[in-house]
Amino acid sequence: SQKIEQNSEALNIQEGKTATLTCNYTNYSPAYLQWYRQDPGRGPVFLLLIRENEKEKRKERLKVTFDTTLKQSLFHITASQPADSATYLCALGWLNDMRFGAGTRLTVKP
Amino acid sequence: GAVVSQHPSWVICKSGTSVKIECRSLDFQATTMFWYRQFPKQSLMLMATSNEGSKATYEQGVEKDKFLINHASLTLSTLTVTSAHPEDSSFYICSARNGVSNQPQHFGDGTRLSIL
């Protein structure tokens, strides 16, 4: 069956450290992958997109990798801050379809 | 840019009532709009995809007569939950996209629907 699994439901780290979130998938062949941030009671906000032929993308303190052999994407937040605390969703996409993972709730402690 | 407004943000109503939720793209033309349902601590579940001027495409298991979707213009889509019951209580979120499939989806802030 098709699955999108985000490493853990919750991740707690200390301010200043690098947060690494994992998105694994099975029985999908996505053409691209997107990461979103969702705050409680709000809609998701787009962060980064990476295509299947790209290995890595960066945007300020954010970095995404995409390994189609391992069927995995890693999402890194360097120099994390308490304001980075939120739920992060990965989404796999192809043609006109996109499916979301359940998300990882990140808490950055001061 | 790329702002999506969803209204109302929350609604409480009696069982049997029909509820309409609006989703507007304020500063771009949304060729495609999506409606999701989200339960606490769970993923966004796609309910339907709509293209302007066309009938919506519903996901398997979503009753099209229960959840009526209209995408009458490039800036407005509506979801009507007909004859709502307590099991329809949930967080409903719309998103809009302009252009090809790998473009980001821009989300509204959701509607919390509570049916008594």
Using a CB-CB cut-off of 8 Å, the residues of chain B touching A97 are 101
- Tokens 């509570």 sit on residue: B114
Give the model's confidence band at B49: pLDDT under 50 very low, under 70 low, under 90 confident, else very high: very high
A83: contact with B, CB 8 A cutoff: no
CA distance A91 to B45: 12
> Span A47-69, mean pLDDT?
95
Contact criterion met (CB < 8 Å) for B109 and A43? yes
Residues 56-75 of B with CB under 8 A from A: none
The pLDDT assigned to B88 comes to: 95
> Span A32-43, mean pLDDT?
93
Contact criterion met (CB < 8 Å) for A45 and B107? yes
Greater confidence (B6 vs B1) lies with B6
The pLDDT assigned to B79 comes to: 96
Q: Say if residue A91's pLDDT is above 80.
A: yes
**pLDDT tens, position by position, B63-110:** 999 999 998 888 999 999 999 999 999 999 999 998 777 788 999 999
Cα–Cα distances in Å, from B103 out to A27, A58, A98, B98, B100? 23, 17, 11, 7, 6
